A and B are shown apart, each in its own frame.
Chain A
Amino acid sequence: MAQATKTIDARGSFCPGPLMELIKATRAAEVGDVLEVLSNDAGSAKDIPEWAKKMGHTVLYVEEAEGYWKIAIKKER
């Protein structure tokens, strides 16, 4: 599994939410960086891959851990 360049702990975030934390981090990251988000919002497992695909980033994994999700993307552009 790819090593995350940065992990964003967005558990407990409902508004604006984990995807918004990821968008913020993506802007600051370099192309090729792997960004991992921790989220306890079930919606993230759908929202984050949907956004990443639309923006042309690669989704590396969507995993369920104990009571939360771990989702990683690679910044492509």
Chain B
Amino acid sequence: MAMRIVVLGGGTAGTTVANRLARALRPEIRRGAVEVTVVTDRDRHWYQPGYLFVVFNERPLEDFVRPERALLLPDVGMVVDAITRIDLERKQLISPHRHYPYDVLVIATGSYPDFQSVPGLAEVTYNFYTPEGAERLRDRLTTWTGGRIMIVQDVPHKCPAAPVEVTLMLDDYFRRRRLRDRVEIVYTYPIGRVHAAEPIADWAKQQFDARGIRYETFFNMEAVDPKRQVVLTMDGGEHPFDLLISIPAHKGAGVILNSGIGDESGFIPTDRHTLKMIGQDDVYVLGDATNLPISKAGSTAHYQAEVLVKNLVDRVRGLPETHLYNGKVACFLENSLGDASFITFDYDRPPKPAATSELLHWFKGMYNDLYWLTARGLM
């Protein structure tokens, strides 16, 4: 019987792993010795970093979505079904319709902003972390005539740089529309500087100061009063806004919480080097779904996929799994609608932003399209 490798989740991580596996294990798959199947709950695939460009009306949302089946190689099986429970003991995925047995499971179920995590937040907030949110915020900005925009955030959230980026892009957007003097932009952050990573904080603070962007540190949201349009913070402060953009604390997928295999927020305890679920030899985890203390980013998923696939190929071929993930992450940082910076770091090396340039912005723009090649496992 074929060895069944089941990938749960058809996002960045799951799609990349499945395609790379299909390419590397082509002889085994064609011979019927291995099956690679993606089980995912939607038939479309979103490129999430694209939402930022939707907000500023630079690109339409349709540019950032593809049918998942078109991204997966023909050798990869695909099932669209919402899994409600992962049964590690019987080695199967369970949905209301069916059971899916596996020999090896790769969990890539991502993470989600929890707008319910702060009382009152969901009623008034705008966001750019969901496709609908990005379009709604875009439409609000196009009719905006002025006032105070406040950016609030909580941890953990994917793409730790995105709140800084949206702030800098808002500044540029309103300058280009000749409305900047009517808009007050207030960026907030939970600790004593504007970003947790010191080099990013230094870079962002310099930009904020030079561009008249206000910021408040040690800003920890407790509740939002939707009627009075104020954010209440843990230190007893009240902060009025006209437009609130939030990036709330994220959670792992519902199925992880439901299966009791994650921490209190639904992130799965994962070995930082082998990417195996702690205590499980047949279960691997990658992308936003892990509990690793590193950035939840598409690039993280990409570098993890490279390591994980090498080990799975060795496993299939009866060789020892010797490849270790070194914590590598890489991110572009948009500085405006026309220039960008870039950082890379791993478990041993802290980030250091590159000088901003138009070229880096141009490259990020290209990556919006190159992404589809990454997902296909070609890059």
Contact = CB atoms under 8 A, between A and B. Distances in A.
A62 interface: no
25 contacts: A12-B272, A12-B293, A12-B327, A12-B346, A13-B293, A13-B294, A14-B197, A14-B294, A15-B197, A15-B329, A15-B343, A15-B345, A16-B155, A16-B196, A17-B197, A18-B293, A21-B293, A23-B155, A43-B198, A50-B191, A50-B192, A51-B190, A51-B192, A51-B218, A54-B192
Contacts of B329: 15
Nearest to B250: A24
Contact of A8 (B198, B293, B346, B347): B293
Contacts of A13: 293-294
B345 to A, nearest CB: 5
B220 interface: yes
Contact of A55 (B196, B234, B263, B349): B234
B200 interface: yes
A28 B264 contact: yes
A33 interface: no
Majority SS at the chain B contact face: loop
Contacts of A16: 155-156, 160, 196-197, 295
Contact of A15 (B190, B200, B263): B200
Given A24-B155, A28-B265, A14 B160 contact: no
Interface in A16-39: 16-21, 23-24, 27-28
Nearest to B217: A54
Q: Which 8 A-B pairs have the closest CB atoms?
A: A12-B347, A13-B293, A15-B197, A17-B196, A28-B264, A10-B293, A16-B196, A14-B350
Contact of B156 (A14, A24, A54): A24
A9 B192 contact: no
Give the bracket for the number of chain B residues in contact with chain A.
Answer: 20 to 34
Interface of B: 155-156, 160-161, 190-192, 196-198, 200, 218, 220, 234-235, 249, 263-265, 272, 293-295, 327, 329, 343, 345-351
A15 B295 contact: yes
B293 A19 contact: no
A47 interface: yes
A16 B234 CA distance: 21
Contact of B196 (A12, A20, A27, A50): A20
Interface residues of A, number: 25
B157 to A, nearest CB: 8
A28 B265 CA distance: 8
Contacts of B265: 24, 28
A54 B191 CA distance: 9
A50 B193 CA distance: 11
Nearest to B297: A15
Contacts of A8: 293
Contacts of B200: 15
A1 B297 CA distance: 38
B345 A47 contact: no
B195 to A, nearest CB: 8
A14 B249 contact: no
A9 B348 CA distance: 14
B9 to A, nearest CB: 22
B191 A19 contact: yes
A30 B335 CA distance: 40
A27 B156 CA distance: 11
B350 A55 contact: no
A42 to B, nearest CB: 10
Nearest to B346: A12
A9 to B, nearest CB: 7
A11 B192 CA distance: 21
B218 A15 contact: no
Contacts of A10: 293
A50 B295 CA distance: 23
Contacts of B192: 47, 50-51, 54
B107 to A, nearest CB: 20
In this complex, which of A10, A14, A41 has the most chain B Cβ atoms within 10 angstroms of its Cβ? A14
